[in-house]
Structure 1
């Protein structure tokens, strides 16, 4: 293996995962940030990041980092790190298309002695069984003879300014013991929280996919508890606060489960399990519960409107929040759109307000144009769908003023006290 000081790194994909990683490596090593979107490259070259995961000052601090959308510019690199999305298709099956295309790109520029490291979340075995054969085919090189591989799953938490790429412990792995040690040392040179060297690439892949599967199941449990307690007329948040007084009670809350990881990663694991002849009952049951929460929220809202004698057909409903989580512009796999779809089925007019969301992204991804200005006395119902700090700052009195004399406020995120809103999840 080449000494670390002779390392030149290429980051393939400059999204929520790739850019923060490129910035950190770019403080210490010659680093090439590559993205197929020229507009993204131009934005970063101008010192801006629309994802808000990095600041202009952080971009400027990466003195050894430059950006390109030209694949040939990667030929000087000897370590290639792939950080592209791994979505699911409309049948909820893994879609490896971005990963395969990235592997093809690596295959066109990789040289003998180089290393390719994957960070994208996949099912165990995908790196060695799906990705590396593509690199071999395109490059004409032989895996573990001419070039080598590693896997180090991303642990980015969008919108989290406390847990950053350098302060989250990193799992690493390599295709040979020597490569595993090189990959571990490479990440250890920028990760202040340290690293954990897994014994194999498959173990590292599995560790990542179960992180979010575990979280998904815990949220599914409290979502199901909310469904039960609502039928009993018990306030779910009050129950969770009481139970939370025990030291080992896990502080999960019910809600919509979207985003680029939690709502997607379990399907990668279940896909692999079913290909091996095993049907994962518990994981899929949790997914069914969480995928059904948007429809449940809509039904509860309709019931509350009927109880207040508010006509449903033709009603006007404001949904506050479109991002998949609070204080973040990330719209990927947001489940707020499930509520919108259900309400429109009742011929309800819906509007969305989100000060974090990009209008262009909302229009492109979902055909939604968020409103920019809120007016008083306009809405028959208001759904607090995302816990943005701006919504807390607005205050419940001003949010109530947005409603007509008879209106419903549905607080999904426990932003305000139970007596201040009509119903909570």
Structure 2
């Protein structure tokens, strides 16, 4: 399908940049971000998120800019900015409201604004549209229109990409819905799903990640139970997985900008309408506590091995929220680090994917290089980066003291058939 719309993307992060490059195959795209350093890096063909390869970025027909007046050249605006939570775990809509203000100032009659940012049901029409109307002096449904199409980007995933993931689309009215569907259909080969309303599309997004959060919380709770029973969780899951309808979830840390955040948006909206959720907040509490649990297990096993905890060095491998990405947002590895440090442990952190300056500024954590790692009593494989797994047990053994040592494999990705005899393994 084809369309005659000029597309702008507002917010060029993990979500916006892949969308901009995809749309650019069918015409010039206005790529807008308020971060001038980000714009300069993209103009030079460098994407620090590693979501878009340098060659694809350099050849993409995207006009990168931090000047909002350039948005006037487009008539189909896609807003893809972060929607985090604050310290009290309440939705922080400031980024999406600021983006709405920016777009609203440049809005023209006939324009369509589509939100991809994750929000709670009702936020687009009840909170964002009034900002667009106020800043533009135009009326939604008469002068311009809006839609909602939730992002489904999985950072670091080179198989499930913007182009080949089914896209949920919605619109303020039937005419808008068809235009939004047509525009996205030009780039999304997997097709589009027309939601019956914007609220339905908004709800679908938060449900996708809330469901995963709840399921992972169950498996994490099982891991804590099986740990007390002396049973390996992954062996249990492998056996249970032989049943045709068993869901293949595994234990681990739940961070990032989606699963670790989105459930709070649904929880917030539920309380607004007078319902106090039970399962959603319980799952969030349990998953947020896994870093402390892992650190406590490390401390207990070190004591059993005869190590003096306060004199021990522990190496934490990986700091990003998931494997093979540099994204530090809501990483729960910090909980492992801080808990160990509270008990007097000397912690050294190594992550070749993460920018050292960002780790220092955002988290207050100083990263080591591979060359300056001290020998440790324990190595915690917190993030299963491919670079770590491929080097195997020989490399891990080289990071440990020669005496009886400990390896914590958080996600259970290391092979158990080749563990060196002086290493004790623990995993969730």
Q: TM-score, normalised on structure 2? A: 0.96
Q: C-alpha offsets along residues 361-395 of structure 1, whole Å, 9 cap, x if unaligned?
A: 21121011211124676112110111111111111
Aligned positions of 1:320-335 closer than 5 A: 320-335=317-332
Contact 2:5 2:183 survives alignment (8 Å): no
Contact 1:173 1:201 survives alignment (8 Å): yes
How far does residue 417 in structure 1 lie from its aligned partner after superposition? 3.4
1:75 is paired with a residue of what secondary structure? helix
Contact 2:43 2:58 survives alignment (8 Å): no
Cα 1:195/1:416, change in 2 over 3 Å: same
Q: C-alpha offsets along residues 379-412 of structure 1, whole Å, 9 cap, x if unaligned?
A: 1211011111111111112212211223211111
Aligned positions of 1:50-199 closer than 5 A: 50-63=48-61, 65-199=62-196
Given candidates 17, 20, 34, the residue that maps to 1:19 is 17
Contact 1:7 1:30 survives alignment (8 Å): no
Aligned positions of 1:5-404 closer than 5 A: 5-63=3-61, 65-374=62-371, 378-404=375-401
State the distance in 1 between where 2:203 and 2:312 align: 47
1:379 is paired with a residue of what secondary structure? coil
Contact 1:316 1:379 survives alignment (8 Å): yes
How far does residue 418 in structure 1 lie from its aligned partner after superposition? 4.2
Contact 2:348 2:373 survives alignment (8 Å): no
> Corresponding residue for 2:413?
415
Q: What is the total number of aligned residue pairs between the two structures?
A: 422
State the distance in 2 between where 1:160 and 1:377 align: 33
Contact 2:6 2:76 survives alignment (8 Å): yes
2:211 is paired with a residue of what secondary structure? helix
After TM superposition, the structure 1 stretch with the greater mean CA deviation from structure 2, 270-279 or 368-377, is 368-377
How far does residue 204 in structure 1 lie from its aligned partner after superposition? 0.3
1:26 is paired with a residue of what secondary structure? helix
State the distance in 2 between where 1:62 and 1:17 align: 16
State the distance in 2 between where 1:10 and 1:406 align: 58
How far does residue 30 in structure 1 lie from its aligned partner after superposition? 2.6
Gaps of 5+ in 1: none
State the distance in 2 between where 1:338 and 1:237 align: 23
C-alpha RMSD of matched pairs (Å): 1.4
How far does residue 61 in structure 1 lie from its aligned partner after superposition? 3.7
Task: Return structure 1 stretches of 4+ with deviation > 2 angstroms.
Answer: 3-6, 60-63, 374-377, 417-422
Given candidates 403, 424, 427, the residue that maps to 1:424 is 427
Cα 1:7/1:408, change in 2 over 3 Å: same
How far does residue 250 in structure 1 lie from its aligned partner after superposition? 1.1
Q: C-alpha offsets along residues 98-123 of structure 1, whole Å, 9 cap, x if unaligned?
A: 01100100111001111100000000
State the distance in 1 between where 2:82 and 2:169 align: 19
State the distance in 1 between where 2:19 and 2:155 align: 13
State the distance in 2 between where 1:386 and 1:284 align: 25
Q: C-alpha offsets along residues 187-211 of structure 1, whole Å, 9 cap, x if unaligned?
A: 0110000010000000000000000
State the distance in 2 between where 1:162 and 1:409 align: 31
Gaps of 5+ in 2: none
2:83 is paired with a residue of what secondary structure? coil
Q: TM-score, normalised on structure 1? A: 0.97
How far does residue 134 in structure 1 lie from its aligned partner after superposition? 0.7
Contact 2:3 2:183 survives alignment (8 Å): no
How far does residue 59 in structure 1 lie from its aligned partner after superposition? 1.5
State the distance in 1 between where 2:3 and 2:230 align: 64
